[in-house]
Amino acid sequence: MTPSHTNLTAVPSHRVTDEIASVVLEQDGQTIHLRLDPLVPEPALARFDPAYLPSQAQVVASGGRAAAWFVQLASLEAVLRHFKRGGLMARLVRERYLWLGLERTRSFAEFDLLRIMWQAGLPVPRPLGAAVWRGRLTYRAALLTQRIQQARPLGQCAEPKVWFEAGRVIAQMHQFDVWHADLNVFNLLVDAQDKVWIIDLDRGRRKALTAMQRAENLSRLLRSVKKVAPELESTCWHLFKQGYQAVFNDA
């Protein structure tokens, strides 16, 4: 179900750091929270609805279980993602999560983590907006990020320099104490200039990482390689490890 745009009552908005706007709206008995980058054009709430015609939404064909669309924000191309459950829980409730506070919602938490990483110069897409539709005990969530142009998954790349660079990128992420909850060959994108980008930080976190946690992240990525592109394990995985270790050797 896409969000409606009727019966909205705006609560005065305020500004947080770096010109990010926090907006609160009331709609049909539920509260809507928005966190917006200045690049998001008005009407802001409509930008989280794939049915909003000016967005020219196109379904993203590959990726995780969450519903995702490429959308147009004025002159800017973005990715809109609605958070969806997977596994057995999805049979009971597909898109609602238990309310534990605004900062712990899936979209706001990912927006904030991406913002910190983006400001630090790590190769993540610029976070553009987060939305939360809160009911009494549960909420729905959506996220807008800038689209990486001409991107392909790492699992579709066999260039040695790309895998070496991918290792460096993940090492830099770990040096920044970020743990990726779903590190796989679809969540590492390679653009036309062979730059490697990290996407989908849902449930990721930033806290001091142990060597074991870093190793678990890499093991998860290797399992993805074996499942999606097993031929790359023998030809490219050692290059990834070389790039990863090079960052820590230089530290």
- pLDDT at position 10, please? 45
250 is annotated as an active-site residue: no
CB of 217 closer than 8 Å to CB of 183: yes
Q: How far apart (Å, rounded) are the C-alpha atoms in residues 159 and 157? A: 6
- pLDDT at position 63, please? 53
Residue-level pLDDT, tens digit, the chain, 251 residues: 444 444 444 443 333 446 899 999 998 888 999 999 999 999 999 999 999 999 999 999 765 555 899 999 988 999 999 999 765 554 455 689 999 999 999 999 999 999 999 999 999 999 999 999 998 899 999 999 999 999 999 999 999 999 999 999 999 999 999 999 999 999 999 999 999 999 999 999 999 999 999 999 999 999 999 999 999 999 999 999 999 999 999 87
Spot the catalytic one: 18, 112, 177, 182. 182
**Rounded to the nearest 5°, which phi and psi values hold at 121?**
90, 10
Enter the pTM of the model: 0.89
CB of 27 closer than 8 Å to CB of 17: no
Domain ranges of the chain: 8-146, 152-250
Query: Tokens for 215?
Result: 């190793």
Q: Are strands 205-206 and 127-134 parallel, antiparallel or unpaired?
A: unpaired
CATH class of 152-250: mainly alpha
Quick one: 180 exposed, middle or buried, by C-beta within 10 A (0-12, 13-18, 19+)? buried
Neighbour-count burial for 27-61, b at 16+ CB within 10 Å, e otherwise: beebebbbbbbeebeeebbbbbbbebeebebeebe
